[in-house]
Structure 1
Amino acid sequence: MRALTDLRRTPRAGPPRGPAGALRRLGRRIGPGRALAAALLVLLLALRVYDPPPVEALRLRTFDAFQVLAPRPRPPERPVAILDIDEASLAAFGQWPWSRTRMAEITRRLSEGGAAVVAFDVIFSEPDRLSPPLLAETVPGLNAAARADLLAQPDSDAVFAEALKAATAVLGQTASRAPVPWTGKEPPPQTGMAVVGPDLDPERALMSFPGLIRNLPVLERAAAGRGVFTISPERDGVVRRVPLILRAEGAVVPTLSVEILRVLTGADSILVRTDDTGVASVRLPDLAVPTDPGGQVWVRFSPHDPDIYISARDLLAGTVAPERIRDKIVLVGTSAVGLLDNRTTPIDRSMPGVEVHAQLLENLLFGTTLVAWNGMVLVEIGVAAAVSLAIIAFAPILGAFNLLLLGSLVAAGLAYASWYCFSEQSVLFDATFPLITTFLVYLTLVFTNYFREQAGRTRIRAAFGQYLSPALVEQLAANPEKLRLGGEERRLTIMFSDVRGFTTISEFYKTDPAGLTALMNRFLTPLTNAILDRRGTIDKYMGDAIMAFWNAPLDDPDQETNAAAAALDMLARMDALNAARRAEAEGGGHPVLPLDVGIGVNTGACVVGNMGSDLRFDYSVLGDTVNLASRLEGQSKFYGVKIILGAATAEAIRDRYPVLEIDLIQVKGKREPETISTLLGDEAFRRSGRFADLSARHAGMIAAYRARRWDEARAAATACRELAEGLRIDGLYRLYEARAAEFAEEPPPADWAGVYVATSK
């Protein structure tokens, strides 16, 4: 056990003093696992600040899942309608674009129907190709009269402008990746913007485009408002956020939805509030909309709603119910697939772009936009840091299971908080980052602890694998705290085995010590395997003898049965070894001394643990049960049997194995007698008729002997010897024959109780 001494008793130098020593002591106190987990936490927090696409994508997918689980309820009164240039309308009036006179007719009918605002999700940036004056200039082969007639008719764009002026109309514009020249003589009309907040240019945070595609100047001047309908999806192509303001051609301009609300409320300008991160909110009279730093709002979507669509064909045919238009914001757009204005939203794979604006308007009017506070990232980082630091701090105190339980509760709380903020407060709080961060920190602690324990177990296995049984080595590897002086009281089954006549065998090898060593290894190996195969623990080797025990360090509820099976297996393996040695001797032409083993087994209370001194100790057992087992093995040759069992062992296995009582003996050094028995074979022999006959005759012999019926006892012993032929217990019955004959000549004293007092070990 020198390895144990080296592992536990190696002197260590005193701790270094000064700053280096303080740092080293702090490092030992923190531990490599905590240090690694803290470093990982710092890295993850920095990753959240940088917010790479994978981190953002996971967050967005989580919010998408929330929208699918709890889409925005449709309001009972729908303030927005869509005048749809659908497939049926294109089939009725021809391909797009339509003439501006038809668009003027649509505008007039919507205005006459009581529409609060008519807004266009289409753009009219080029002159109407069907305008009569333009046809007069472009159609070849016209005669003078026809050309004069066309020139005399009103310009279609002017007609459309008059209709826009008569209605409350908002025209759409679109952002461009390249500058677009303005064709008007006067500067284009613009919506007023008032910025209130810190000295931070909000334009740096806004979506920015070099150009802006406007409508014809005559139309721009006629409309009550102008807004950009550009929708930019996220990296994955899903529309989640829509800007309320953006930057185009160096100026801050409103988007279509917020411009519609400005016109509807009669405001002259839009108020933009900023903070240190960028845009904080966009405000109109009686309306304040929080935004992200880029001036965007998160739309809480409802599923596609066909009920808000009005076909342009039906409007022009006069078949639309008045209440579908009256007092509503009417968006003019298209759902026709061929016009390529469909978008992907969190809950719909294909939603017309005009409906995205309609849903945004309802969000703004009913206050259902999702709010992502500008400082929410700090909250998420703070939560992740706080929970992770708590895990790092309390991991050694709580233990793995309690830490996992607490972590699960915290994870459930974070998930619920994220869901509650979304479903009840319309606030976007990302729980995925704190959850992933804390989980990775937890895994780091678990794995570093696992690797540290594995390293410790490897050291223990390497140190003690040559000295202890594999079961004990694994027990010590799993529970290193068992490496301490002292022990515990347990009920154990103890076995001693010894090779009979080993002195004679040693003398045979007196000129060949190496041969004797090889022979010892040859017979100790199978005997050891027989014990270990039945969950036994090898205590020690004493020359040719083996000491083993059961039910420690691992619990063994069948300790007596396993010990009995091991004893029988040891005899069988010894027979096989003797047969192999005889065959070798016959082949080599040299004599061979057979090996014969005696076994003693006893069960009772013992003390088991690390016994010895501070410098060297062994895992072993102590107690009277151990001493008696040793004495029983020593009596096996005297009684002429292979195996002797103590009373407790015999009683525990009597119903399974063929057990015969041998004697009532008082071994040397003990005052109390012990009933001893022998084990004859396996369970099959226990059920045989031969054993039943032998057991009955044997019991009669013991009864006659203790009743002083010497002749009857001797006759029974002779009969038993004949029944037991081949069972290798002839010596037992010859002993009883001799005893009966001796006592018949010279009876024992009157107080004799059938106890044999052993005079040797």
Structure 2
Amino acid sequence: MFSRLRFLGQSPSLWVPLVLLAGAILLRQHDPQPIQQLRNLTFDTYQRLVPRPYDPTLPVRIGDIDEKSLEKFGQWPWPRGLMARIVDRLRELGAAAVALDVIYAEPDRTGPAGLAAMLPEDAAFDSVRSAIQAVPDPDQALAAAIARIPTVTAFATQATDPERPQELPLQKAGFAFAGDNPADLLPSWPYWITTMMPLQQAAAGIASVNAEPDFDGIIRRVPAFVRLPEPGNPTPFRPTLAIEALRVAQGAGTYQVKSSGASGEQQWFESRGIAMVKIGQAIMPTSANGGILLYDSGHQTERFFSLADLWNPDFDAAQVAGRIIFIGASVAGLRDYKPTPNAEIMTGIEIHAQIAEQIASGTYLTRPYWATQLEQLALLGFGLILVALAQKRAALFGLAVALIGIGGAFGGSFYLFRSQGFLLDPLYPAGIAFVIFVAATLLGYIRSEREKAFVRGAFSRYLSPALVDQLAAHPERLKLGGELRELTIMFCDIRGFTRLSEGLDPQALTHVINAFLTPMTEVIQRRQGTIDKYIGDCIMALWNAPLEVAPHGRMAVLAAFDMRAALIRINRDFATEAAASGAAPIEIRIGIGINTGLACVGNMGSEQRFDYSVLGDTVNIASRLEALSPVYAVDLVIGQETAATVPEFARIELDQVRVKGKAQPVRIYTVLGDETVAGSAAYQALLPAHQELLAAYRGKDWPAAEQALAEARRLAPDSLAGFYDLYAARIAEYRADPPPADWDGVHVARSKTG
């Protein structure tokens, strides 16, 4: 080992660049946000240098709710009757489709029903009310106008509850998949605000108008689809505004989605997720989660016309004829401005129009599936070249190679951007190349002046025995989004709590609960358990999350032993308190259920409030086991998976039980003690008698079962007396009324408590 360190000390130009290179590749694989941000800024710069050329012949325009429109038609919101006239006017001018970036969530307050509702409840106003109700309904007029031309109405997804329950937006299009169903890849939203149902029913399409920014606030992509909570629907998706407008303009009825698992879509080293979407005749490449990258042309005034001009005699009808017309606002106070790669501020409606233009023209930016691998291979190859040059101490030549490499990386990346629309990152490989070059040129000085310090640093770096806290050092191990992993679950509650609580006033009951939960919690945490929740007098705990605990089944059983000891102290304290006050003493008895298996663990709840919790059959069975503890007159019941983790403990099989809600029987155990108890003569004598009892019982050999029962009673501790009473009663019952011939010895729990 020492000779190896001497070699490393003599050859830092080899191992230091290799370490830097390996670390850089690993860091790139992890891809933290700062690296993503640098990459995004590079691609933003490309778009500013070569923005997408605006083509005024494309069939996309924006009908603008601008200052001129407000001056002509009045303040916003406009009456629905006016909007119906606008839609009809667009139809008359030959629009191919209309996409409304306006959400009409409630009926028009200026409609007959709204005006009539404002009148006093007085008979004197009945004639006025009747006259008002005879006026045409503007919502019906707008619905009729929408029905006369392919129109897309809008809804907005929300992460927070808008506290205005609404029906799900209608699904106007079908979905056909080649490959995997992309449900888990699409952005999912729990809440929404949508256009009122009569307008949806009249529309040819329904679409989301959301476009979520990156973490720096810039809009760089728009999802093709969003996912809504719609149980029972295998395709709970809704399109976004641009692609739905293109669908209805083409008269297409189905989105065709090609994703990983389809022929040709499982690519080099990685699964791509979603690959492309076909909308009528248009084929649109997407990112793995269905995003469409924005190729930003910047703000273009030619893209807009004022809705105020629609009836002007000199209005150019070619602005509308055969085009998809997006209707949205640019006026201050109504506009939805967001930054994009090529504009400090841009209206949301112009972003949607740009996406439609990209699809209509087939002009896309793509991050190829092989981009990450190519960038890492380029980094590896370039880095190894510089490492080889460092061995020769060719600083000037290395500088020339580094500069050529950096220039080549940026030049090649920019060429592929201009010619193919590919987004390949040159900045990270170039930056790492510069770091490696600087390190290589400094190594000679480090080797000659700091050799001894360098060797000591190498020992410290590679041989340090210090342990770092896992959660602080490896926060990636805390997976809050939810994961499936093997856990051990414990439930513990007070036996007869209802009867106990009836005899105590609220203050006394609170004291009892706190005096019980506090030491039990300390015991669990001392054994590396995590408190999931308190449910009244019940404690739910888990092991092996959020950090790994090995062996977690054993730690949970040891915690149960400690809880037995803690309970003795708790009851002793209650007895002391009772003696001092002259009250009747309180004695608590507990039941504990422990089960081990796979479960889903993570943050569960809403963005406003969530808890780190666990779900699954493993949890349900643990709860059932705890409920069975009084049935078997023991304080601890564990499942067979947990029992398998503590073969060295003094385990006693209790029964085979088919718990409520489960078809397969579960073998259940109690544990009398640890290895010391398991090695005792008393346990070694009891175990064969107990096993003989279970074998005879399951074999329906009642005389042999009674004989083994008597022997087990004689050898067992007092804590098992109630358990053997249970078997004595069962044997007597089966002797009097034998079970059916196909009885398999499994006890069927008819309720959660046995």
Alignment TM class, shorter chain as reference = 0.5 to 0.7
**1:383 partner SS:** helix
Partner of 1:71: 51
Q: Counterparts of 1:26 and 1:277 in 2: how far apart (Å)? A: 44
Determine if contact 2:17/2:439 at 8 Å carries over to the other structure: yes
Match of 2:310 among 310, 315, 320: 315
Larger mean CA deviation between 281-290 and 108-117 belongs to 281-290
Determine if contact 2:62/2:326 at 8 Å carries over to the other structure: yes
Structure 2 stretches of 5 or more lacking a match? Answer: 231-235, 261-270, 454-754
> Does 2:402 align with 1:422?
no
Q: Counterparts of 2:299 and 2:169 in 1: how far apart (Å)? A: 40
**1:154 partner SS:** coil
Determine if contact 1:111/1:168 at 8 Å carries over to the other structure: no
Partner of 2:602: none
Match of 1:452 among 447, 457, 460: 447
Partner of 1:116: 96
Partner of 1:441: 436
> Does 2:151 align with 1:169?
yes
Determine if contact 1:228/1:253 at 8 Å carries over to the other structure: yes
Partner of 1:145: 127
Determine if contact 2:98/2:326 at 8 Å carries over to the other structure: yes
- TM-score normalised by structure 2 residue count: 0.55
Q: Counterparts of 1:318 and 1:121 in 2: how far apart (Å)? A: 27
Q: Counterparts of 1:221 and 1:319 in 2: how far apart (Å)? A: 35
Partner of 1:346: 341
Partner of 1:256: 241
Alignment RMSD:
2.5
Q: Deviations over 1:1-44 (max 9, x none)?
A: xxxxxxxxxxxxxxxxxxx5885686468x22321222222222
Larger radius of gyration: 1
Report the number of matched residues.
436
Q: Counterparts of 2:282 and 2:170 in 1: how far apart (Å)? A: 27
Partner of 2:140: 158
Match of 1:306 among 289, 301, 309: 301
Q: Counterparts of 1:433 and 1:319 in 2: how far apart (Å)? A: 54
Q: Deviations over 1:456-503 (max 9, x none)?
A: 899xxxxxxxxxxxxxxxxxxxxxxxxxxxxxxxxxxxxxxxxxxxxx
**2:283 partner SS:** strand
Q: Counterparts of 1:456 and 1:21 in 2: how far apart (Å)? A: 14
**1:158 partner SS:** helix
- AA in 2 matched with 1:341: D
Q: Deviations over 1:380-405 (max 9, x none)?
A: 12211221122112322371111111
**Distance change in 2, residues 1:100/1:446 (3 Å):** same
Partner of 2:80: 100
- AA in 2 matched with 1:207: P
Q: Deviations over 1:347-384 (max 9, x none)?
A: 21122211111111111111212111233122212211
**1:143 partner SS:** helix
Match of 1:269 among 236, 239, 254: 254
| 1:73 CA displacement | 1.0
| 1:110 CA displacement | 0.2
Partner of 1:50: 30
Determine if contact 2:169/2:194 at 8 Å carries over to the other structure: no
Q: Counterparts of 2:442 and 2:105 in 1: how far apart (Å)? A: 64
**1:81 partner SS:** strand
- AA in 2 matched with 1:195: F
Q: Counterparts of 1:393 and 1:91 in 2: how far apart (Å)? A: 72
Partner of 1:90: 70
Matches within 5 A, 1:359-758: 359-397=354-392, 399-455=394-450
Q: Counterparts of 1:150 and 1:318 in 2: how far apart (Å)? A: 34
Q: Counterparts of 1:457 and 1:145 in 2: how far apart (Å)? A: 103
Determine if contact 1:182/1:188 at 8 Å carries over to the other structure: no
Partner of 1:479: none
Determine if contact 1:212/1:249 at 8 Å carries over to the other structure: no
**2:310 partner SS:** helix
Match of 1:194 among 163, 170, 176: 176
**Distance change in 2, residues 1:183/1:150 (3 Å):** farther
| 1:133 CA displacement | 2.4
| 1:212 CA displacement | 2.6
| 1:78 CA displacement | 3.2
- AA in 1 matched with 2:386: I
Determine if contact 1:133/1:154 at 8 Å carries over to the other structure: no
Q: Deviations over 1:87-115 (max 9, x none)?
A: 12122222211111111000000011000
Larger mean CA deviation between 38-47 and 309-318 belongs to 309-318
- TM-score normalised by structure 1 residue count: 0.55
Q: Deviations over 1:146-172 (max 9, x none)?
A: 210111122211111100000111112
Q: Percent identity?
A: 33
Q: Deviations over 1:416-466 (max 9, x none)?
A: 0110011111110011111112221222222222322445899xxxxxxxx
Partner of 2:752: none
**Distance change in 2, residues 1:450/1:28 (3 Å):** closer
- AA in 2 matched with 1:233: P
Q: Counterparts of 2:178 and 2:14 in 1: how far apart (Å)? A: 47
Determine if contact 2:156/2:209 at 8 Å carries over to the other structure: yes
| 1:316 CA displacement | 4.4
**2:55 partner SS:** coil
**Distance change in 2, residues 1:62/1:23 (3 Å):** same
| 1:337 CA displacement | 1.5
Q: Counterparts of 1:183 and 1:304 in 2: how far apart (Å)? A: 35
Q: Counterparts of 1:223 and 1:177 in 2: how far apart (Å)? A: 26
Q: Counterparts of 1:152 and 1:62 in 2: how far apart (Å)? A: 62
Match of 2:280 among 285, 305, 330: 285
**Distance change in 2, residues 1:151/1:183 (3 Å):** farther
Q: Counterparts of 1:214 and 1:284 in 2: how far apart (Å)? A: 23
**1:238 partner SS:** coil
Match of 1:60 among 31, 40, 53: 40
Q: Counterparts of 2:224 and 2:306 in 1: how far apart (Å)? A: 28
Q: Deviations over 1:259-308 (max 9, x none)?
A: 11111222211122222232221222332211111211211111311122
| 1:64 CA displacement | 1.0
Q: Counterparts of 1:421 and 1:139 in 2: how far apart (Å)? A: 67
- AA in 2 matched with 1:266: G
Q: Counterparts of 1:154 and 1:122 in 2: how far apart (Å)? A: 22
Q: Counterparts of 2:246 and 2:290 in 1: how far apart (Å)? A: 16
